[in-house]
Amino acid sequence: EVQLVESGGGLVQPGRSLKLSCAASGFTFSNYYMAWVRQAPKKGLEWVATISTSGSRTYYPDSVKGRFTISRDNAKSSLYLQMNSLKSEDTATYYCARHGSLGYIAWYFDYWGQGVMVTVSS
């Protein structure tokens, strides 16, 4: 069974940093592109970052480019999101998600974690 379990969320002050983690199991982690998607309270979904199978390629929307960094450790089947210079508008539930195809990128998500809440407030 595919499982994605996020951790590392919490309350953080504006301008500070936070690092999220996602522990994957039930599939060969190194074979899949992975992503982070967030959802502000009572709002819609926003893609935040994607990383290739090896970690050599990363993709971001303009809203977080330069502030967020996605990374992975295939030996540990773990995905990370380093978030710097946090703003109040980054307050959201952050989901770890698996891209839909084996070995190459398909731009949809076939498995999602349960999410972790990040609150940016003074």
Contact positions vs another protein (CB under 8 A): 37, 44-47, 50, 61-62, 95, 100, 106-110, 112-115
By beta-carbon proximity to another protein, the closer residue of 66 and 108 is 108
The single residue listed with the structure tokens 């504006």 is: 14
Least Cα distance to 118 among 97, 91, 95 occurs for: 91
Q: Smallest distance, Å, CB 60 to another protein?
A: 9
By beta-carbon proximity to another protein, the closer residue of 18 and 37 is 37
Left if phi > 0, otherwise alpha if psi is -120 to 50, otherwise beta: which for 53? alpha
Q: What is the DSSP string of 14-68?
A: TT--EEEEEEEESS-GGGEEEEEEEE-TTS-EEEEEEE-SSSS-EE--TTTTTTE
Q: Smallest distance, Å, CB 81 to another protein?
A: 16
By beta-carbon proximity to another protein, the closer residue of 29 and 95 is 95
Q: Smallest distance, Å, CB 35 to another protein?
A: 8
By beta-carbon proximity to another protein, the closer residue of 55 and 100 is 100
